[in-house]
Amino acid sequence: MSFLKSRHTPKFGIDISSSSVKLLELSEARKGYRVEAYAIVPLSTGAVQEKNIAEIEAVGDAVQEAISRAGTKTKEAVIAVPGSAAISKIVNLPAGLSDDEMEAQIQMEADQSIPYPLEEVNLDFEVLGPTQGNPNTVDVLLAASRSEHVERRVAAVELAKVKARIVDIEPFAVENAFQLLTPSLPDQGREQTIAVVDIGATMTDLSVFRDGRMIYTREHAFGGNQLTEEIMRRYQLNYQEAGKAKKTGAGLPDTYNEEVLNPFKENVTQQVTRFLQFFYSSSGFDQIDHIVVGGGTAAIPGLDDMVAESTGTSASTANPFANMKTGSRVPRQALANDAPSLLIACGLALRSFD
C-alpha cells in the first residue's frame, strides 16, 4: 500500500530511525533477490526524536551521505512513517464496486474512523480480497497518516535529490520482510505464532505473525540508547565515542562485559518478556512458538540465546539476507553484521517489485 502512487521502476528503501538513516537497494535475481547497495549513516542527536523528524536538513544530509556511500544511481525511494503516526483498519465493503464507488465508500469510512479532518491526512487503501466466509464482501485495508508526518519525510529525501515514490508504514514493511525470514523459522512459520522484536535506538517494535500473517503490532519506549548512555556515564565518553565503542568494543576495559553489557542484556530480556505479556493480555493468545530479534541491538553476541533462556521460547537473530546474493560493491561480512537492523529497510526495498 502507498500514500504516493508508484511506477514500476528501481527504488531503494530508506529507513529513517531515531539514530540513523539506513538505505538498501535490491534487484531481482534467479529464485530471489540480490543486495545491490546499502549504507547506514548515523544521525546527529535530536535530528529525529522518537521517530518524528525534528531537523529536516540534518536528515536530508544523512540521506545524501547514505546514497554516496552506497554508490547507488537510483533516484527513487520508498520511505515509511512509524506505526504510531498512522492509523490502519480493515473494513468490509460490498464486492463488485467500481473504483469510484470504492473511493466514495472509503471516504465515508475514513471520515468516521480518523480523528482528524480529512484535508489534514494522507489516505490510501488496498483491496485485500474476498472476506473469509462471505463472498459478497471484500476486505479493504484503509491506512492514513497526518500529512505533516508524510511531508517531513518526503522533504528530507528530496533534499538529497531523490523522489519518494511510495510512503509505507513501518509495521507493514516488517510484514513485507517477514517472508524472507520464514525459511529459517520452525516449520517455515506455517501454523506458527512468531514474534519479531525490532529493538531500535529508542523504540522497540513488537510484531506478531500467525501462519505468516501479522496479527498484532505495538511500539514500546525502550532501545539500545540505554546502553550507549550507560557507556557515556561510566567511561566519560561523548555520544559518538560511546556509540562507536558499543559497536566495536574498542577502548572499553576488561570489566565492560560484566559491569555494563551483561546487565543491559538482562534488561533487554526482561523488556521482551514484558512486551510479550502485553500481547498475551490483549490478544487472547497464550503462547509464542519462536522469537526473532531484530534491530541494531540484536547484533550483541548471545542476546538471542539469553532471550530464549529468559522466555522459555526458541529465539534467533533476524537476517533477511541469509539466502540472498550480493552485488560486487556490497561487503558481505558488514552486511551480515548489520542485517538485524535492516529489517524495515529491506521491507521497503521489496516494494520496488510490487
- Does residue 111 lie within any of the structural domains? yes
First to last CA, the chain: 9
pLDDT tens by residue, the chain, 354 residues: 455 455 567 899 999 999 999 999 999 988 899 999 999 999 988 999 888 999 999 999 999 999 999 999 999 999 999 999 999 989 999 998 998 899 999 999 888 888 889 899 999 998 889 998 898 999 999 999 999 999 999 999 999 999 999 999 999 999 999 999 999 999 999 999 999 999 999 999 999 999 999 999 999 999 999 999 999 999 999 988 898 888 888 889 999 999 999 999 999 999 999 999 999 999 989 999 999 999 999 999 999 999 999 999 999 999 999 999 999 999 999 999 999 999 999 999 999 998
DSSP string, 203-237: -EEEEEEETTEEEEEEEES--THHHHHHHHHHHT-
What is the predicted pLDDT for the residue at 2? 52
DSSP 5: -
In terms of residue numbers, what domain contains 90? 85-147
The DSSP bridge partners found for residue 15 are 22
- Does residue 92 lie within any of the structural domains? yes
| 1 residue type, one letter | M
Domain count, the chain: 1
- Does residue 77 lie within any of the structural domains? no
What is the predicted pLDDT for the residue at 354? 81
What is the predicted pLDDT for the residue at 1? 43
Residue 189 Ramachandran class (φ > 0 left, ψ -120 to 50 alpha, else beta):
left
Is the distance from CB of 279 to CB of 208 less than 8 angstroms?
yes
User: β-pairing, 204-210 with 193-199?
Assistant: antiparallel
- Does residue 95 lie within any of the structural domains? yes
- Does residue 124 lie within any of the structural domains? yes
- Does residue 125 lie within any of the structural domains? yes
What is the per-residue burial (b if ≥16 Cβ within 10 Å, else e) of 29-59? Answer: eeeebbbbbbbbbbbeeebbeebbbebbebb
Q: Is the dihedral of CA 105, 107, 110, 111 positive or negative?
A: negative
> pTM (2 decimals)?
0.92
Which residues lie closer than 8 Å to 73 by C-beta, 6 or more apart? Answer: none
- HSE toward the beta carbon, residue 128, CA cutoff 13 A: 15
* SS3 assignment, position 47: coil
Is the distance from CB of 18 to CB of 84 less than 8 angstroms?
no
In angstroms, rounded to a whole number, what is the distance separating the alpha carbons of residues 38 and 23?
A: 5
- Does residue 107 lie within any of the structural domains? yes
- Does residue 112 lie within any of the structural domains? yes
Kindly calculate the radius of gyration of the chain based on its CA atoms and give it in whole angstroms.
Answer: 20
> CATH number of the domain that 95 lies in?
3.30.1490.300
